[in-house]
Amino acid sequence: MPEGDTLFRAARTLQLALGGKEVTGFRSELVKARNVDRDFPVKGRTVEKVESVGKHLLMHFAGGLTLRSHLLMNGSWHIYRQGEKWKRPAHRARVVVETADFQAVAFDVPVAEFGTARELARDPAVASLGPDVLAEDFDEDEAVRRLRERSALGIGDALLDQRALAGVGNVFKNEVCFAERVHPFTPVSLLDDATLLRLVRTARSFLKMNVVASSGAGMVTTRRTDPSARLWVYRRAGEAWLTERLAP
């Protein structure tokens, strides 16, 4: 499943292409989105803002209408200029938002539904999220407090709980725990607040690092240029951990 940095970059790209532009065409293969568009047409509205919140992508339209999408395992948003050939077959397109210049296409996205700001605020999928690790106003103390509330969980599972802090997935969970020398199975109850704070800050640091990294280069947490050593531990089970290989 894409992690918070991937959604952040997707939202940033969509904002650059669509932000402030009038929608000239909209279609969806998902019933919930299609039904709302029938009653409250998206065509003719302006895309006011596109943003990510944890692993959710929110596309805000004029008139108080917001499209929330979640990529789950296989979904992705693509941007094409009008007339440009799509890189995936049309039958995999679940949502298409068009402006005079661009087409934003959501391929294989299983969740895309509209709501008003009030409905979004009440939607458990969004309203229950913890502090977004990539948000400018990220509250690290609140994130620590929410992790502490999950005292019976292993810290790895607690970091994955989007209600504690939003945006961390399996890759960053493993990388953060390794970087801070904390076993992911360690119960939260055995960790002091200083350790939890270090984990939270490292999670934020790693995700921010990947926001500015090239999206085509793959995730990176080691700052090393060797493609085989861009991550410390994820999918590297069974390797001999030599000191020189772990050196910065």
Mark whether 2 is an active-site residue. Answer: yes
Topology of domain 4-127, per CATH?
N-terminal domain of MutM-like DNA repair proteins (3.20.190)
**Residue 3 confidence (pLDDT) above 80:** no
pLDDT of residue 222: 57
Identical fold, 4-127 and 140-246: no
Cβ–Cβ contacts within 10 Å for residue 243, how many? 6
167 three-state secondary structure: coil
Total residue count of the chain as it appears in this document: 248
- What torsion do the CA atoms of 45, 51, 54, 58 make, to the nearest 10 degrees? 0
Domain boundaries, the chain: 4-127, 140-246
**Residue of 134, 130, 167, 122 lying closest to 150 (CA atoms):** 130
The DSSP H or E segment spanning 126 is helix 124-127
Query: Can you give the pTM of this predicted structure?
Result: 0.79
The architecture in CATH of the region 140-246 reads Orthogonal Bundle (1.10)
- Those residues whose C-beta lies under 8 Å from the C-beta of residue 226, and which sit 6 or more positions away, are none
Mark whether 55 is an active-site residue. Answer: yes
Place of tokens 């090393």: 224
45/63 Cα distance (integer angstroms): 8
Q: Of 43, 48, 55, 140, which one is the catalytic site residue?
A: 55
Q: Of 3, 51, 98, 175, which one is the catalytic site residue?
A: 3
Q: What is the pLDDT of residues 81-133, one digit of tens each?
A: 999 999 999 999 999 999 999 999 999 999 999 988 788 878 888 888 999 99
